[in-house]
Amino acid sequence: MAASSTKDIKIRIKSVQSTMQITKAMELVASSKLRRAKERAEATRPYFTTLHQTLSDIAYSNTEFFSPFVQKREVKKVCCVIIAGDRGLAGGYNSNLFKAVAGAMEGKTLCALPIGKKAVEYCVHRGIEMVNDRYTSVEDLTLRDCFSIARLLCDQFRQGAFDELHVGYTNFVSMLSQQPAVLKLLPIHYDRKEAKNRAESLLEYEPSSQAVYDAIVPEYVGGLLWGAVAESLASELGARRTAMDAASKNAGEMIDDLSLKYNRARQGAITQEITEIVAGAEA
Amino acid sequence: MTTFHLQIVTPDGGFYDGDAEKLIVRALGGDVCILPRHAPYVTALGTGQATVVIDGQRRTAACAGGMLAVTKDDVRLVATTFEWAEDIDKNRAQRAKEEAERRIQSAKDGAELEMAKAKLSRALARIKAAG
C-alpha cells in the first residue's frame, strides 16, 4: 500500500512539474512579447489623439455640408468589430470582452466582424452574422489590413447595410489591469465642448469639404481600429502573463505540498519495514 | 525667419514635433506648400514626396495617405505612412515597384487593379524621395 502511494505521488509531481514548465515558458514568451506590444500601443496613441482632435475641430467648425458619416439614423442594425485573442490561457481576457460586447449590444440586431480566432469561434457559436471571418490572427494583423477593413465597413455603412459601427476591444490600463470597452465609431459623435476655442475661424477645404471628409473618415476608422488592435494585443499578453504567473505559483505550491506527502509516505514505509524486521527478529 | 509649429504623426509613432519654415506635401489635387501664417485649411493627402524645411535644412520624405490640417496655432500632418529619405530602403522599394507592376499585369478585377496601382505609386514615391 505504502509503495504504490509513493509511486502515485511521484507521478503526480512529475506531471505538475511538466505543466509548470509549460506555464513558465508561456509566461516568459508573453512578457517578452508584451514589452513590444506595449511600446506599439504607446506609439499609436499620439497618432490617434491628433487624428481625433483634428476631426473634432473640422466637425465643429463645419457648417456647410451634411455627411452620411455624421448624420444620425434610425438604428435598425448594428455592426460590431470584436477584437479578441487568438488563443485562451489568458485568464478572463476573452470572456470578459465577450460579456462586455454582449451587454452593450443587447436587444439590437447585430452583425460582427471578428478579429482573432476566439472572436470568430464566439460568433460561430452564438450564430452571429459575420461580415467576414478572414481575420483569424490578431498578432499578424497589419496596418494595411486595418485600413482595408475600415474601407469595407465605411462603404457598407454608406450603403446602409448597418446604421451604427462599434468596436469591442480591451483597454491596456496597466500591466495588471485590462478593461474591456465598446466604442462607437460611426456615425461620428463630437463633443462640442472639446473642440471649442480651437477652431473659431472658418476652414478652407480642398478640393471640397465632401471629398475631404470621404477620404478622411475611412482613414480615421482605420487608425482607430489599429489603435484598438494594439491596445487589445497588449492587454491579451498582459492578461496571459498574469494568468500564467498565477498558474506557475500554484504549481509550485502543489509540488511543495506533494513533496511533503511523498516524504511522509516514504518515511512511513521505512518505519513500517523496520518494525516488521524487528518484530520478525524478536519472534 | 518666421516658423510655424509642425506636428507629424503616423500609426507607428510620432515623427516630428517642432518648428518648421516650410512644408510641401502631395494632396489629393496636387502639391501644396504651407508657409507660416497660412489660413486655416484642411485637405486629404495623396501619395507622394514631402519636403520639410527646418532651420534652413531641406529634408525629404515619402508620405502616403492621411490628412493635413492647418489651424491658427499649428500644422498637423496625420499620415498613414511617413518615411524620411534616409530611412528608405531603396532596394526594397525597387522590388515593391516590380511586384506592383507584375500585379497590374495580372489583375483580374477593378479592386485588384486599384490596389496594385496604389502599391506602385507608393513604391514610386519612395524611390523618388530616396533620390
ipTM of the shown complex: 0.73
Extract the C-alpha cell encoding A123. Answer: 460568433
Name the residue in chain B with its Cα closest to that of A45: B13
* Strands B41-44 and A204-206, sheet pairing: parallel
For every residue of A140-198, DSSP letters joined together read T--HHHHHHHHHHHHHHHHHTS-SEEEEEEEEE-SSS-EEEEEEEEES----HHHHTTT
Q: Which residues of A touch B9 (CB under 8 A)?
A: 46-47, 50-51
Extract the C-alpha cell encoding A51. Answer: 487624428
Q: How far is B103 from chain A (nearest CA, A)?
A: 17
Q: What is the CATH number of domain A2-23+244-278?
A: 1.10.287.80
pLDDT category of residue B16 using cuts at 50, 70 and 90? confident
Burial annotation A118-129 (CB, 10 A radius, 16+ → b, else e): bbbebbeeeebe
Give the domain CATH number at B32: 2.60.15.10
Q: Does pLDDT of A3 surpass 60?
A: no
My answer on whether B72 and B27 are in the same domain is yes
pLDDT (average), residues A118-137: 83
What pLDDT shows up at residue A252? 94
Q: Which residues of B touch A203 (CB under 8 A)?
A: 40-42
A·B CB contacts under 8 A: 89
Q: Which residues of A touch B30 (CB under 8 A)?
A: none
My answer on whether B82 and B93 are in the same domain is no
Q: Does pLDDT of A182 surpass 60?
A: yes
My answer on whether B81 and B98 are in the same domain is no
Distance CA B52, CA A191 (A): 33
Max avg pLDDT among A14-23, B41-50, B94-103: A14-23
My answer on whether B22 and B39 are in the same domain is yes
Across the interface, whether the CB atoms of B71 and A216 are under 8 A apart is answered no
What pLDDT shows up at residue A273? 92
My answer on whether B79 and B99 are in the same domain is no
My answer on whether B26 and B46 are in the same domain is yes
What pLDDT shows up at residue A195? 47
Name the residue in chain A with its Cα closest to that of B81: A143
A39-240, what's its fold? Pyruvate Kinase; Chain: A, domain 1 (3.40.1380)
Q: How far is B46 from chain A (nearest CA, A)?
A: 10
pLDDT (average), residues B68-93: 84
My answer on whether B13 and B75 are in the same domain is yes
pLDDT category of residue A199 using cuts at 50, 70 and 90? very low
Q: Which of A188-192, A206-210, B52-56, B62-66 has the lowest mean pLDDT?
A: A188-192
Q: Which residues of A touch B73 (CB under 8 A)?
A: 198
Q: Which residues of B touch A51 (CB under 8 A)?
A: 9, 78
Q: Which residue has the higher pLDDT, A51 or B58?
A: B58
Domain span holding position B116: 89-130
My answer on whether B45 and B75 are in the same domain is yes
For every residue of B29-83, DSSP letters joined together read TEEEEE-TTPPPEEEEB-EEEEEEEETTEEEEEEEEEEEEEE-SSEEEEEEEEEE
Across the interface, whether the CB atoms of A50 and B32 are under 8 A apart is answered no
Q: Which residues of A touch B66 (CB under 8 A)?
A: 219
Query: What is the pTM assigned to this prediction?
Result: 0.79
For every residue of chain A, DSSP letters joined together read -HHHHHHHHHHHHHHHHHHHHHHHHHHHHHHHHHHHHHHHHHHHHHHHHHHHHHHHHHHHH--S---TTTS----S-EEEEEE--SSS-BTBHHHHHHHHHHHHTTTS-EEEEEESHHHHHHHHHHT-EES------STT--HHHHHHHHHHHHHHHHHTS-SEEEEEEEEE-SSS-EEEEEEEEES----HHHHTTT--SPPEEES-HHHHHHHHHHHHHHHHHHHHHHHHHHHHHHHHHHHHHHHHHHHHHHHHHHHHHHHHHHHHHHHHHHHHHHHHHH-
How many domains is chain B built from?
Answer: 2
Across the interface, whether the CB atoms of B14 and A47 are under 8 A apart is answered yes
**CA B2 centroid distance within chain:** 24
Q: Show which residues on chain B lie within 8 Å of chain A, measured between beta carbons.
A: 7, 9-14, 27-29, 32, 39-44, 65-67, 69, 71-73, 76, 78, 80
Residue tagged 507592376 (cell numbers):
B101
Give the domain CATH number at B107: 1.20.5
Q: Which residue in the set A143, A204, A227 is minimally distant from B40, CB to CB?
A: A204
Q: Which of A6-10, A201-205, A232-236, B67-71 has the lowest mean pLDDT?
A: A201-205
My answer on whether B81 and B27 are in the same domain is yes
Q: What is the pLDDT of residues A60-85, one digit of tens each?
A: 666 555 677 777 777 788 888 888 88
Cα Rg of chain B (Å, integer):
16
What pLDDT shows up at residue B37? 87
The burial class, CB within 10 Å (0-12 / 13-18 / 19+), for B130 is: buried
Instruction: Characterise A126 by phi-psi region: left (phi > 0), alpha (psi -120 to 50), beta (else).
Output: alpha
What is the SS3 assignment for B110? Answer: helix
Max avg pLDDT among A23-32, A40-49, A132-141, B27-36: A23-32
Answer yes or no: same fold for A2-23+244-278 and A39-240. no
Distance CA B17, CA B52 (A): 12
Q: What is the pLDDT of residues A243-264, one digit of tens each?
A: 999 999 999 999 999 999 999 9
Across the interface, whether the CB atoms of A204 and B41 are under 8 A apart is answered yes
What pLDDT shows up at residue B128? 79
Sequence ranges of the domains in chain A? 2-23+244-278, 39-240
